[in-house]
Structure 1
Amino acid sequence: MLTGRGVFWLAGTGLSLIAVCYGLARFAYGLFVPVFRTEFDLDAATAGAIASGAYASYCIAIVASTALTAKFGSRMVAVMAGGIATTGTLMIAAAPGTLLLALGVVLAGSSTGVASLPLAHAVAHTVPAARLNRTQTIINAGTGLGVAIAGPVSLATHEHWRAAWLVFSILCAVVTIWAAFCVPAASARDHRTSGLRQALPRPLFPRGSGSMVAAAALMGIASAAVWTFGRDILVSEGQLSEQASTIAWILLGACGIAGAAAGDLAGRVGIPWSWTTTMLTLAAATALIAMFPGNILTAWATAAVFGAAYIGLTGLLLIWSTRVYTDTPAAGVGLAFLVIALGQAAGAPAVGALAEATGLQAALLAAAVIAALGSLIRPRPVERSSDEH
């Protein structure tokens, strides 16, 4: 087990790797959808399809990562994730046309699937139980940090979006080097024992997994709307300036860091109550962005709330999955995040198609309804662990 200093460095490295893979390599695409639509002459359906490709590649990557983490250990797979993010963001920066742009987005998006499992594995096997939930949710909040970083880089580079993606690539490379030194390497004992079981948990779907899978799927479908078209609706229908709409994105990421409190919230009031209220919060934020895209204060406030709710929900699913899959926590996290991405892969093109038919406002309102339906799912009560008392 790691000491306090070791846990601190693992949490910092994991937070940073999640920040560059999720916040930059994957979700920064939504920040640049307006300029990509202009630069490459994309309609909403095509922009949604490209986003769907990133989510789909995540799904493939997370399945592969489960086996790779079991075989090679956390450090090697974490470094692989950073390398993929670096390459994908560099491809986007150099893209001469739609095809290479799409390929770069798909490759960059896959890095998130590779990153999640080795970090969950490292925390589950090296962090003392009393600090487990908090460490997991702090690392998970890296998405918000990455999104918050993407906004200022976008503002600093103005219309030179290629320079922004080059900066993203450099940041990915730096964090990859950091991960090579700070993420623990699995021991031979990990490979022989826990690794094989984590690759294929038994039973594959234990009691309580059904509600977890349904919750993750609806959350993924609902959240895809804002991640893909949130800034687009502020610019195209709300007529907000580039600066004002980018500030909304920065607030989305910065307040997403507050989602690190999900572990403490679940410990105090339980996962069922936390899930219902946070999912309803996501629904309300999505609806308000759709209804008042031209009101700058509303846009900023609702983007901030959406970010905190989204990261909080992923943190709750992280804890929820480790309690359902008590013997194979990394596999449980992998399943939960795989289903979120499957939902987003389905939701992004569906929202794009609906936007082409009825407008972005109606498409985002439909996503809000799906989030509200997801709030009705109630996980089975679980016994509170000793670190939550």
Structure 2
Amino acid sequence: MVSVSERTTARWWSTAAVGAGVIALCYGFARYAYGLFVPRFGETFGLTTVGVGVLGGLSTAGYGAGLLLSLRTATRSARATVLLAGALAAVGLGLMAAAPNVAVFGGGIVVAGGSAGLVSPGVAQLIGETVGARHRVRAQTWANTGTGLGLAASAFTPLLAFGWSSIWAGFAVLAAAMTVLAWRTLPRPPASATIPAKSTPVHGLTPLVVNSVLIGATSAPYWTFSSSRLTATGLSPTAATWCWFTIGAAGLLGGLAGRAAERVGLRTANLVTWTLAAAGLALLALPRPGLLGALVSSALFGATYMALTGLCILWAARLFPTRPARGVTWSFVGLGVGQTAASPLAGAAAAGVGLPAVFGLAGLVALAAWSQLDARLAPPASGPGG
């Protein structure tokens, strides 16, 4: 006979795993895989670098719209928000695959980007409502590693012999199948889960948003220029692809951040992770990191990026114990703001001082997180959210 404890453990693993699967599709495929196929998109639609940038901006716009929409939907029905995210990923990817022109393709990018904006707040809220306090921290951080899973799964798709539209159609089918699986398996929150949330002072949320902006600002150079940097050091495109895969695969280790936060505290786990992130960035500042240095850098970046975003979710859950989606939304808005602002700044700096200096500077900026030794800038020491 299965005990209550075993059933609870199985339920949190199931919820975290399915949540991670939906996140993998919404982020790894619907949002980030675009960058892997830019050359093929450019050939199909005759895009200039400006056009490529505009389409990338549409993805960010859709992502932002999804985040803002999640403020209303996630607390009303977290389960429906997750299912909507999966459905939008399937529709957006399908539109991109079947697009007869760049206008329809751009519309698909917006819809697909919106799915990523909805999914993290939705999953965080659903876990907050359905997973017991004993397992909630680990469930949140393991679900968040879905982004790494999606990155790893999509890394080698540009090497497939199929045309990009067939690959994108396959992505859409996977997204639809994952949405059906989520519909059949995700738990429904109990009626008691709909508890009015107490308002959180703005100053309690500000340190979280600042931390998230810092994640966005320091990660932007890596997402945008790491492949170019590795190619410039003499690595082949195949090696660069392996590095992208390593980012995603190592990102799965980010799920351990929840256990680390339980053992040593959220602030300590956050600061140790930030220090490792700085080291990963700094490795690409070396004149010749080589394949080993590139792989270590990719592993550190993937693991720490997923860990830091997972720790942000735990931070948000402490601020908004009954409505973690609200804190997660504002945290990820800060993340997006940091990435949006830092990408062009990093490009301008690279033109002036070179990419090695940009990565060295990003590593130094990451160490600014040590300002959290000041209790006013640190995450809450404890809270009902874990």
Please report the TM-score for the alignment, with normalisation by the length of structure 2. 0.86
User: Counterpart in 1 of 2:175?
Assistant: 172
| 1:10 counterpart = 2:10 | no
The equivalences for 1:290-305 within 5 A come to 290-292=285-287, 295-305=290-300
1:153-302 to structure 2, matched below 5 A, reads 153-155=157-159, 157=160, 160-186=163-189, 190=193, 193-194=194-195, 197=196, 202-203=199-200, 205=202, 207-235=203-231, 237-292=232-287, 295-302=290-297
- In structure 2, the partner of 1:151 is 155
| Structure 1 unaligned regions, length at least 5 | none
Aligned partner (choices 123, 126, 132) of residue 130 of structure 2: 126
Asked if the contact 2:152/2:248 (under 8 Å) is kept, the reply is yes
Deviation at 1:310, TM superposition (A): 0.2
Deviation at 1:215, TM superposition (A): 0.8
Are the aligned partners of 1:130 and 1:386 in contact in 2 as well (CA < 8 Å)? no
Residues 1:337 and 1:287: Cα distance change in structure 2 (over 3 Å):
same
Task: Report the RMSD for the aligned CA atoms in angstroms.
Answer: 3.0
Aligned to 1:107: 111
Q: Relative CO higher for 1 or 2, CA cutoff 8 Å, sep ≥ 6?
A: 1
8 Å contact from structure 2 (residues 314, 385) kept in 1: no
Shift of 1:239: 4.3
Q: Is the 8 A contact 1:18 1:112 kept in 2?
A: yes
Give 1:306's aligned residue. 301
Aligned-pair CA distance for 1:248: 0.6
The match for 2:97 is 93
Q: Percent identity between the aligned chains?
A: 33
SS at match of 2:371: coil
Q: Shift of residue 103 of structure 1?
A: 4.0
Q: Which amino acid aligns with 1:29?
A: Y
Offset from partner CA, 1:336-357 (integer Å, 9 cap, x none): 1221122222223333444456
User: CA offsets, 1:135-172, max 9 Å, x none?
Assistant: 111101111111110113333x1584333323222221
Counterpart-to-counterpart distance in 2, 1:98 and 1:355: 30
Q: What is residue 31 of structure 1 aligned with on the other side?
A: 36
Shift of 1:383: 4.2
CA distance in 2, matches of 1:84, 1:126: 24
Q: Distance in 2 between matches of 1:82 and 1:159?
A: 24
1:68 is aligned to 2:73: yes
Amino acid of the structure 2 residue aligned with 1:69: A
Q: Which deviations, in whole Å up to 9, do the C-alpha atoms of 1:159-188 show, x marking residues without a partner?
A: 843333232222211111111112233456
Tell me the residue number matched to 2:367. Answer: 372
CA distance in 1 between partners of 2:66 and 2:21 (Å): 19
Output the amino acid matched with 2:20: L
The total of aligned residue pairs comes to: 377
Q: Supply the distance in 1 between the matched residues of 2:263 and 2:91 (Cα, whole angstroms).
A: 42
- Consecutive unaligned residues in structure 2, runs of 5 or more: none
- Report the secondary structure of 2:372's partner residue: coil
Alpha carbons 2:214, 2:366 under 8 Å: kept: yes
Partner of 1:135: 139
**What is the rounded CA distance, in whole Å, between the counterparts of 2:168 and 2:284 in structure 1?**
26
Task: Please say if residues 233 and 293 of structure 1, whose CA atoms lie closer than 8 Å, have aligned partners that are also in contact.
Answer: no
